[in-house]
Structure 1
Amino acid sequence: MEELQHYEMESERLCFRRLRADDYALISPILQDEQTMYAWEHGFTYDEVCDWIADMMRRYQEDGCGYFAVLDKLTGELVALAGPLVEHLYKDTTAIGIGYIVRRDLWRQGYGKECAEASIRYAFDKLGAERVIATIRPGNLASLHVAASCKMQVVGEIMKHYQGKAMPHLVCAIDKPKPEEKKSASAEK
């Protein structure tokens, strides 16, 4: 008998589930693809993919969120890795951020925006965030476009350190709509 699948969130075309320890074969084609991982400046090694899965499982336990496996509702195929995650901005400052890594052969089909919007809703509704951010490399125009299409605005810049290298990131943010903003937005439709 097949195990009943639990999804953390859903969108029109996608369902999002937590990663499992045995998801290496599922997610490695995305994380090991150099072109997909251009913002990280390299495709991941076997060990880095395993470490990434372990880190997401730790994040679920400690933070209640992290990147999820994003599956096509119709086919069950992996579309992306995306979700809300705790971002460490400065020494003692964290924020709820979002991340999305779409499978390269599915770029320019609206999946990045759909993942980002679902992650923002989850952060506001399930995690209680008042502001959601996305930290994006300045040259990552596709991600900046996704953030802008989700009504996120650049509010600052931080320096992240990855594999011994300093990497500037823009901080894009969206604030949780106030109840009166939600009412007026739905009245306009």
Structure 2
Amino acid sequence: MITIHCTKKLLSRLPVGVGEQLRSEYSNYFAANDATPTRLSGWHGHLVTLQRRQCVLLVHDTTRFPVFIPALKKDDFAIFDHHFSDSFMNTLLKTGAEDELMEAAIAQLAPLMIETTVNRSVLGTLNQMVQHIQFAVEDGDVTISEITGYRIGAWLADTPWSAKGVKGAIWAADEMADLLLAGD
């Protein structure tokens, strides 16, 4: 299971409530009772409106690895687990991940469990990332409905971030790689 702590805005769009697993036809390959948290568990997610389009930014709690999913429509929230897995894997690929890391990431994918937000430090990083995305979209003359979000996620993953109680900068791509390959 992968826990996503959602803001109220994102929670209002998802087809499940707090404490429920998000499941669609895309998550049928996961075990039905898979309630064991994986190394990927622990994300914060927020719904952002850019160019009048609904976008979701997710940030991993410990690594600060971002997943940006742009231009979602109402029906896309019903298959949010698919969008999360697709965006996470492709963002990881865009950061230059090797086959070993990609295989470790696939092994950690699991059903999504929806919770409410809890960590203000992660929310602070998430808000900084939203500001970076807004600047990139406005300055780069990008049409949000025509991008996938993988490159923006990889760009954010290659940016140093800070966190409460952590000395120095967090490089999200390196931290995620360390997390996924730990114990292998």
The TM-score normalised by the length of structure 2 is 0.29
The TM-score normalised by the length of structure 1 is 0.29
Q: Which is helix-richer, 1 or 2?
A: 2
